[in-house]
Structure 1
Amino acid sequence: MDNIDSIRNSENAPRPVGLYPHARKVGNLLFLSGVGPRKKDGKDIPGVTLNEAGEIESYDIETQCHAVFQNVRTILQDTGSDWSQLVDVTVFLTNMKADFATFNKIYAQYFSEIQPCRTTVEVNALPTPIAIELKCIALIN
């Protein structure tokens, strides 16, 4: 396997916050690194209000869900796959009790046709001040 050729990045999605690619192709699978709702350019996060210390003051999980799904779609398209090729989605929420019902409702709007496998877990925090992150696996040609 040629590691350089297997690395895939999107010019239209937010840059990773560390030393990792947006995606990596292995065989006929595309593994996406964790994707959050940040906007492409800058550190703005849709649906998040931060205080002066950079901590979350308030957030709108619905807005973040739509943004993260759009970022995943963009990365898939730009790296050789597409939304219909998703086979597995791992969801990280920072507040399962408050956000799961809203997330699940929005998720159903986006995934009713393709229904990939899904695991949803609650985490204490994510690397940036966000309330949701997705880790996805998709088929690729």
Structure 2
Amino acid sequence: MSKHIIHTDHAPAAIGAYSQAVRAGDTVYLSGQIPLVPETMTLVSETDFAAQTHQVFKNLRAVCEAAGGSLDDIVKINAYLTDLSNFATFNEVMAQYFTQPFPARAAVGVASLPRGSLVEAEGVMVLSK
């Protein structure tokens, strides 16, 4: 099985030694997205958790589309929050991007994230043949 690297200018460029996503067979592994605006590579907001979460899902959607899928094809999401008191807000925003049946998910509290982000999310997407 070969792997195919996914890249789009509609999501932030990688800020390290990784790809935005990698497709292996029908599975696409989506790298973590922080709330960077692709055109400026700056945070959408430094303090607004909801705005940051919306940008994270917009970035994930752009990578999904570049891979030939959509957010509806995501089967698993891992979310990282620097403050778990924002968990309810994360749920509210996520519900605006997904419909039932929702993907499996983990939410983890972390000490810090790149660029001072308050939230990051990564996922696994499965595409139909």
Same fold (TM > 0.5): yes
* Alpha-carbon contact 2:72-2:99 (below 8 Å) kept: no
Alpha-carbon offset, residue 132 of structure 1: 0.5
Alignment of 1:79-118 (within 5 A): 79-97=67-85, 99-118=86-105
Query: Number of matched residues?
Result: 128
Task: Tell me the distance in 1 between the aligned counterparts of 2:111 and 2:26.
Answer: 33
Over aligned residue pairs, what C-alpha RMSD do you find?
1.3
Residue type at the aligned position of 2:109? E
Task: Tell me the distance in 1 between the aligned counterparts of 2:101 and 2:60.
Answer: 15
Residue type at the aligned position of 1:131? L
Task: Tell me the distance in 1 between the aligned counterparts of 2:114 and 2:50.
Answer: 20
- Residue of structure 2 equivalent to 1:2: 2
Alpha-carbon offset, residue 112 of structure 1: 3.0
* Alpha-carbon contact 2:2-2:25 (below 8 Å) kept: no
Alignment of 1:50-129 (within 5 A): 59-97=47-85, 99-129=86-116
Q: Percent sequence identity over matched residues? A: 30
- 3-state SS of paired residue (1:66): helix
- Residue of structure 2 equivalent to 1:138: 125
| Greater percentage in strand | 2
State yes or no: 1:30 paired with 2:17: no
Task: Tell me the distance in 2 between the aligned counterparts of 1:113 and 1:15.
Answer: 30
Task: Tell me the distance in 2 between the aligned counterparts of 1:123 and 1:109.
Answer: 24
- Residue of structure 2 equivalent to 1:47: 45
- 3-state SS of paired residue (2:78): strand
Residue type at the aligned position of 1:122? G
- Gapped regions of structure 1 (runs ≥ 5): 49-58
Alpha-carbon offset, residue 41 of structure 1: 2.3
